Structure 1
Amino acid sequence: MPQKRSRSGQRRITSAADSTTETMRDTAYEDIKHRIITCEFKPGSYINEAAVAALIGVGRTPVHQALDRLRIEGMIEIIPRRGAIVRPLILREVLNLVEVRAVNESYCARLAAERASDADIRFLSEIIARARDAIAARDVHLMMTLDRDFHLGLAHAAGNDELIDLLKRLNERSLRFWFVSFTSEHHTDFQKQHEMILDAVRNRDAEMAKQVMQLHIDSFRQSVTRHLSFLDQPAISRDAS
């Protein structure tokens, strides 16, 4: 059974209650995060801890801990004396994200073309195949998940742990914008671009992988910019348009 150190420095046995608490905290985090990403919890709306705890079926403490983690990740804000609010989708923020992604993901694609193993290429190919099925089924949630997994798979193929951590954070923050900008041409165009990137990686064409990734990120920017202003949310900012 796992052991932890107490404050006195002595080892103690991790209890079932510890594991249950951790599970509830993770459950609350994943559930709230999913509802924020898919805009079930709308941008600019307040989050009532008691109401969310009842909705998810956990206590208020795991919800409070989950909200604190989501605050650190930039998905919610804490307003003094008023509580937690889902961060509005701000155009300036997504444009800043796009700039950082364009530099790092294009470099990542280049490295992946140079370093990807056969196992990496098989993994990316499986994601592409699953994405085709998700598109045919119009499973938006699965499409979004597979899009994230494709980019993370490229980061692993690039073989740089620091790059993996950076791109994981950037892609997690981009998911809300991805969901908001979802349209029929959005997912079919992105799928084609993913296939082109994979072909470049498979052919060890580093420059082509870089160029297609730059095109892919720019397509994301155009899609989000086009759709973000139509989202019904309080306090939305259209700066930097």
Structure 2
Amino acid sequence: MARRAPAKAARRDRNKPHISLRDKAYETIKNKIITCVYPPGECINESLVADAIGVGRTPVHQALDRLRLEGMIEVMPRKGIIVKPVILSAVMQMIEVRVANECFCARLAAQRASDDDIRALQQIAKRARSAIAKHDITALMSLDRDFHIALAEAAKNSELSDILLRLHEQSLRFWFISFKSDHHVSFQDQHEALIDAIERRDPDAAEAVMRAHIEAFRESVARNL
């Protein structure tokens, strides 16, 4: 029996999802940008980042190239790689696109969500309430992303899901920057109202809640940026 234990452990290790060094670098750098450890306008040195993460420069370079394509960083002449500055007009344009797409997503979710989809949204909302009680802002931000991803999945439209994922990833940095009030409580109330509308299969109500939710985000960003 004792001789078979290493083999079992090896099988368990093989079953674990493999995370490439490029993906590790991407997730680490993106999280630091979103949470403003790397604030807007910050210069990013590939060598220093590679040393901090514990990977080579090639994965870091690949990760930064992906983040450039996603609009989180940019290459500036004579400055190198910098975290993309926050320009209010650009943020407002992005929010306009979110209004159109997320309201449509809410309508589809109210029409198409399965019982499993609704339970997933409810579980995320429950964990978010716990994060609010603990004042765990990082966890709350992550749960906000999970909620919108789960909502997009409930809409049963993969093309729309891809669009919303990109928009929401860009929004997270502004969510964190604007986090200077108790807006997370009202946002949580809106999430729960949206779940209720979806559970009642009411597309009009779901769209109205989502529109109010995005407008509240717009107002919070405008006040705090």
- How high is the TM-score relative to the length of structure 1? 0.84
Shift of 1:162: 0.8
- Name the count of aligned residue pairs: 209
More helix by share: 2
Indicate the residue corresponding to 1:212 in structure 2. 209
Q: Kindly provide the amino acid, as one letter, of the partner of residue 217 in structure 1.
A: I
Shift of 1:141: 1.1
Shift of 1:183: 3.1
Indicate the residue corresponding to 2:141 in structure 1. 144
Shift of 1:114: 0.9
Alignment check: 8 A CA contact 2:44 2:81 kept:
yes
Indicate the residue corresponding to 1:80 in structure 2. 77
Misfit runs of 4+, over 3 Å? none
Q: Does 1:46 align with 2:69?
A: no
Indicate the residue corresponding to 2:58 in structure 1. 61
Indicate the residue corresponding to 1:70 in structure 2. 67
* 2:113 counterpart (112, 116, 129): 116
Indicate the residue corresponding to 1:161 in structure 2. 158
Q: Which runs of 5+ in 2 are unaligned?
A: 1-16
- 3-state DSSP of counterpart to 2:82: strand
Q: Kindly provide the amino acid, as one letter, of the partner of residue 132 in structure 1.
A: R
Paired with 1:206 and 1:119, the residues of 2 have a C-alpha distance of 18
* 1:224 counterpart (205, 221, 225): 221
Shift of 1:55: 1.2
Indicate the residue corresponding to 2:34 in structure 1. 37
Question: Quick one: percent identity of the two aligned structures?
Answer: 60
Shift of 1:167: 0.4
- 3-state DSSP of counterpart to 2:86: coil
- 3-state DSSP of counterpart to 2:20: helix
Q: Which runs of 5+ in 1 are unaligned?
A: 1-18, 229-241
Let me know the Cα RMSD of the aligned residues: 1.4
Alignment check: 8 A CA contact 2:180 2:224 kept:
no
Q: Kindly provide the amino acid, as one letter, of the partner of residue 67 in structure 2.
A: L
